[in-house]
Structure 1
């Protein structure tokens, strides 16, 4: 990338689904470099550095175990002798999935605002900025998943081979998150309050998703409402492969993947069509 090359910020940009995938492929090395810089930069200057990315989920796993199984004496109701650690592990899966989605959504409104120099001066594929945020969130998700699997191995002495399917389970959520991120990154340029709203929405989604409770714990009349939440299916299927050692519902995930691709395409189209106005506002 030549930092001395200037471009017309008002020019039109391709907005088709094909252009979306072409952008990912053509800029894959730049996405990787910026993601690595983002991850390392988050812990730069601290004594423990990247080790914090490991100790943070470990600490949270202990906190969840104590609060929900000791203080509230909660149980998941999976049958058999359910230990406190079992409840914490099941709950932690929901937190991992929600954390991935929440980090992408909460960072999205400020992505363009924090990179104004890329908008006005240099030739830069602005559409990759949400991918960088997603890459950083996926790194944290990967570390948290490693902690989860390690806890299962140490506590329950079990490792389910179905865990290798976890990336496939996450795929619909990844595309949906990108679609929302593109939309919010663009909207955040024109409406600065969006950054405050997304934090509220992701917090509400955490409690309106089966993170702290199973879907079966809700009365029948509320279950249909919970199923509308895009996180519900992903959390439930993630627990199948990571904790319970069963295959996911491929048909439901296929429908979710199509929906995720549709959201990603719509978000990419919106971003590409509205980016012509970024320079005027910024």
Structure 2
């Protein structure tokens, strides 16, 4: 493999796999050795009951057909193994291409959000279809719906790339949902982590159904919210940036917890109250 371009490398391996798969499809379906023996026997019986003589080269004929079947089956096994190896090569090439693909998605995202902001400016104060029609901005409203669909497709592609890179759908979903949509989520939704970890209810600032904030990060209404919230910084980070964002958040969360614990201890010391006894928690998460 001589290509250093990740995308070109993926295409080369996919082309190679397509050729092998075509060769595999063109192999005759010869069946197993047992199936051949049965078919050969039934053909011989048919000739004998019709009064034909036993062939003098019976053994040679049977052995020749068996060799052809064995050769065909060995080739089939080898081609399937080659396809499996090429699939592994493609998976690794896709992993290598993921950073560049995510970076390209990030560029597309910023262009898409800029386009959405331009359409929202045409809406004026209209924020629903009826108001948009009355304001003479029906085309802008329709264009925002199209951009919303493009945005959803872009985010689905992002999720697929991260999942493909990590090989773990659950972790990929968690990373993208928490750190991969808005770079400064702590600023625009300060209570997001407490909400995500069921510590307390703090609704997201964008339009969404009650209890389903992450489902609201799609479509036209979300794009309008982004346009109306210039402090929000949407992004498509690389996997390394996602992992770094997670590490940074854990570190800051730890510092905040330590600061709260210190402040609580100081307050108790000033009021001469003893520290509370540790609470034993049952496996159900309830105080025992």
**Structure-2-length-normalised TM-score:** 0.29
- Bigger share in helix: 1
**Structure-1-length-normalised TM-score:** 0.30
**Structure with higher RCO (Cα < 8 A, 6+ apart):** 1
* Larger of the two Rg values belongs to structure: 2
